[in-house]
Amino acid sequence: MLRIKVWCLPAGQTEGKLKLLHRTIVAAVVAIKEIGFRNENDMTCLFVPDLMTYGLGQEIIIEIDGLGLFAELERTIGARHTLAASVGSAVKGLYPKAKVNCTVSGFDRDKGFWISPTPRRSKKDV
């Protein structure tokens, strides 16, 4: 699964603004056909809160990782650069006064990881 962390957003973001940002990021990822992500279920977007409001929104940092979980040949370094540019420029479009920095890193299975199974939903949970 792709993991996208967004840091240093301007203070006071509303739920509506965060939903718009989420949809914008998902669309930017899905638009890159060669990496094969289909929708928001293929990724997790995290909007990391900051304890200090000074300087928030001047520079927005985006970290994308998890691509190494999928070792298909089309997930090249070029595709990673395209992903960084697509997501970074999409976020820049929403925050034109901010400096936006987007990095994409792979995932190294040798560092260890664990993922819980997806719980089954019963009819009463729906």
Q: For the chain, what are the domain ranges? A: 2-110
DSSP-assigned states of every residue in the chain = -EEEEEE-PPTT--HHHHHHHHHHHHHHHHT-GGG---SGGGEEEEE---S--TTTTTEEEEEEE-GGG---TT--HHHHHHHHHHHHHHHHHH-TTSEEEEEEE---GGG----PPPPPPPGGG-
Specify the range with the lowest mean pLDDT, choosing from 9-13, 34-38, 113-117: 113-117
Q: CATH number of the domain at 2-110, please?
A: 3.30.429.10
Quote the pTM value. Answer: 0.82
Taking only the tens place, the pLDDT of each residue in 58-89 is: 999 999 987 655 555 446 778 889 999 999 99
